[in-house]
Structure 1
């Protein structure tokens, strides 16, 4: 497959942005190009120099001291980490560049780990922890500044940046340590009010709140179902002592305005439902989203918009029968559904190759370990071929025979020659005797008498999500083991 004609220009732009991201928060004006939007962009940080959010490199050099709003331990731009979810107000252009007028960061949860229902598993890249009793899901896209997600222990104090799902659990985009100086706990959630005045009681997902005098942000009226941001003191087995409670959650984080354009990345909290022939609605981070005849879905089908799925929506706000609603002009899938681990075998123009798979890097790609000795290079070159081990999580794209759009890529400085591991959906089967092959992400892998099967027979593989361990032998890729993943890929939806 030759992807040059399709991706070379946007990929070169993306890599230019990534190259610029390694130069710190320094100079340079926003590149020329038509203004695409002016308003709020909310999403996780994927890179720096200045700050890359939702595929846009926002220049921050002109921000004043009051233009960055953070909190304990994240009080300046220099404290930001990959995966932290920001609100950036400014403008962005068709060139992929933007300029920030203000930047805002707010922890989703900050407090002690009270349980570890599912310790982090590096193989499945899944895990679950509890912070102040709130369950937090960890996955392949969760970024961390801890030594390892597997090192998380009960009693450790963490900050979490993530999304509240429809089932009350959180999905972590970032998990990191909290220093001793970063006092106070914080949580976001939906308020539950029971009883009648003056004996009302307040809860967030079962945790009772003891609200101190003067803690309620003026002119907030506490009501059942209201999304809130709560700061105070947590003690196990006792009500959470609230020193400050304000309107919170994603809707408040957007500073919504009918005059603003909006970019927002987050999880689906209500499944897509058709309203008319050419329109429908769903909810993202609890925010109503409406589609119309001109909405661009990319590779996404409306039937794929289900609770827990990570999407990016771009549009503007409208008043839909009295409800502030995000009218979607573009919807993009931003969740990982495929993975690859193996040696860097080649570079075709600006596309990486490993195990027969072509890997597309974009401005959304988070480069894990950029600050470590085993960092992915700023730009891959011939000197890295055969010497670097890649671990890639991303999106399985079907165009031009299939490729992997990288959402996260990690590199090790020593290549492993033992073979490759791929996880994705089988897009083609060849059942000719003696030449049986399957195709995943564009890689054609031969199946022979030595191939082991777990969960499915060869004839049942087409369309199935599988994990394949394979090797290169005399120019061919030979499957050693094939395992069905359809029974184990629902961790994010539990």
Structure 2
């Protein structure tokens, strides 16, 4: 078993919100709002993040009522109606929202980050990440990515797709959504880093990642000029593929960071990847700042860091959600920062007797799962579901989320729940999570992880030296850093029994 959660934040403590405080509507369904401790800011402005559900539109944990829009979406990428949106698409919502998780949308705006043919597809050994390029630009997708028309494991060279993505600090793009689209190479889209490209203003040409991009003088959008290109940075190119490796630009605009710009209101909630790490202003830990999505995020004494986040853990590439106010054109003072990376995973069959529609809870292999408006519910056979349909298409699921709760009431707040079409042994499970207890020697209560205790009397411990692998875990557990394990286990008449155990590894991409 080789499994791995990308960008794990080592050192995060589980949240202390008790299981059951989260209630009301989960992602993918209609109904009321969310009351999760400090879930959601009160404000008027913009919310930018991945769609997690419908029944109106869920973005960043808020259910935005869209009835006044009559389903309209602002886009020049063929997404004109709310019904054409999908979970995972990064959407900008302008409107108002309150602290009960309810909001009213005044506009919805969507823009593809990339649209075109895929190449250089490489699947990781653990089948949990795929890298690929679109017109020379490298992207990657993980098990958190929502796929439509294909899957992470089945993405194939020359697939024509639309991608909604976050740009990482290294210039790589992390896909939030990948969906197949009707092939139209006269309507492609890409982003180009002109700081690492050859720019020939005299011949109206850009040479980037092996592609020659030509443009006319009248293609610049939103006040851009050729001088802006000469200054470097990332830009959006829409155009047509003329011949292999030659693109005719029809429009050149600023990159997708423009979706995070301030609108009419001062408030903003946004999800994105950290671009530059947090740096304090002076000798004290706060105040200080980091950058995200082209914005400077100010962290002050009053800023709440949730999910066990620390200032040191706010490192480049980390996916977070920020809630705050604009205090300048591109400066946001953060009120609250939450983690959007999973630190836990469980895979197996749902205990159908545990499904509680009123609280949006269920159990898998003894692990308690909480669905919230931040949760994306999907099917691996390219379908969308809501909580009421959770077991209608099968009971086997894969859940990624964040461990929360007190030591005696641990649960996983789901970020993504994927219902799988193939049914396996209903008593067999896999999990990844933080080790909470390990006995000095194998015992009937040898392991505690994600809120369940299991026997490891007959378990196989994998490692470089299998004879010492268990002791290495015991020694690591006694150290200062959290220990994360991958466990395959069974549900038996005498309780949960570990079959295979290993330290979660970072080297199996």
TM-score category of the 2 structures, normalised to the smaller one: 0.7 to 0.9
Q: What is the aligned partner in structure 1 of residue 432 from structure 2? A: 423
TM-score (ref. length: structure 2): 0.83
Measure how far apart 1:399 and its partner are.
3.3
The TM-score with structure 1 as length reference comes to 0.85
TM-superposed deviation, 1:398? 5.4
Q: Deviations over 1:216-265 (max 9, x none)?
A: 12531323233322101235653432111012222x11231484200101
Three-state SS of the structure 2 residue aligned to 1:459 is helix
- Please state how far the C-alpha of 1:30 moved relative to its aligned partner: 13
**Are the counterparts in 1 of residues 348 and 364 from structure 2 also a CA contact under 8 Å?**
yes
Q: Secondary structure at the match of 1:304?
A: coil
- How many Å separate the matches in 2 of 1:230 and 1:295? 37
- Unaligned regions of 5+ residues in structure 2, if any? 1-14
Change in 2 beyond 3 A, CA 1:423/1:155: same
The 3 A distance-change label for structure 1 pair 267 and 439 is: same
Match of 1:457 in 2: 469
* 1:98 matched residue in structure 2: 103
- Report which stretch shifted further, 153-162 or 393-402: 393-402
Q: Secondary structure at the match of 1:399?
A: coil
Partner of 2:153, secondary structure, is helix
* Aligned pairs (5 A) from 1:364-443: 364-369=374-379, 377-378=387-388, 388-397=395-404, 399-401=406-408, 402-412=410-420, 414=423, 416-432=425-441, 434-435=443-444, 437-443=446-452
Whether 1:14 and 2:17 are equivalent positions in the alignment is no
Query: Partners in 2 of 1:465 and 1:34 — Cα distance?
Result: 30
How much has 1:468 moved relative to structure 2? Answer: 0.6
How many Å apart are 1:76 and its aligned residue? 1.5
Give the Cα–Cα distance (whole angstroms) in 1 for the partners of residues 238 and 220 of structure 2.
11
Q: Which residue pairs with 1:303 in the alignment?
A: 312
* SS of match in other structure, 1:98: strand
Shift of 1:332: 0.4
Per-residue deviation, 1:64: 5.5
2:119/2:157 contact within 8 Å kept: yes
In the alignment, does 2:112 pair up with 1:107?
yes
Structure 1 residues 460 and 142, CA gap change in structure 2 (3 angstroms): same
Change (3 A) 1:166 1:437: same
Cα distance in 1 for partners of 2:21, 2:415 equals 19
- In the alignment, is residue 470 of structure 1 matched against residue 489 of structure 2? yes
Superposed CA RMSD in Å reads: 3.3
Distance 1:448 1:267 in 2: 42
Query: Using CA pairs below 8 Å that are at least 6 residues apart, which structure has the higher relative contact order?
Result: 2
- Aligned partners of 1:268 and 1:284 also within 8 Å: yes
Note if contact 1:56-1:92 (Cα within 8 Å) is conserved in structure 2: yes
Secondary structure at the counterpart of residue 317 of structure 2: coil
CA contact (8 A) 1:112 1:156 kept: yes
> What CA distance in whole angstroms lies between the structure 1 residues aligned with 2:294 and 2:16?
39
**Conserved? CA contact 1:394–1:406, under 8 Å:** yes
Corresponding position of 2:131: 128
Is the partner of 1:405 in helix, strand or coil? strand
Give the structure with the larger strand fraction.
1
1:25 paired residue number: none
How much has 1:395 moved relative to structure 2? 1.6
Match of 2:162, SS? Answer: strand
- The residue that corresponds to 2:6 in the other structure is none
Q: Which has the larger displacement, 353-362 or 340-349?
A: 340-349
Q: Could you say which residue in structure 2 is the equivalent of 1:24?
A: none
C-alpha deviation, 1:338, in angstroms: 1.6
CA contact (8 A) 1:30 1:98 kept: no
In the TM superposition, what whole-angstrom CA distance separates every residue of 1:283-332 from its partner, at most 9, and x where no partner exists? 2123221100000111212222112211100101123xxx7212111100
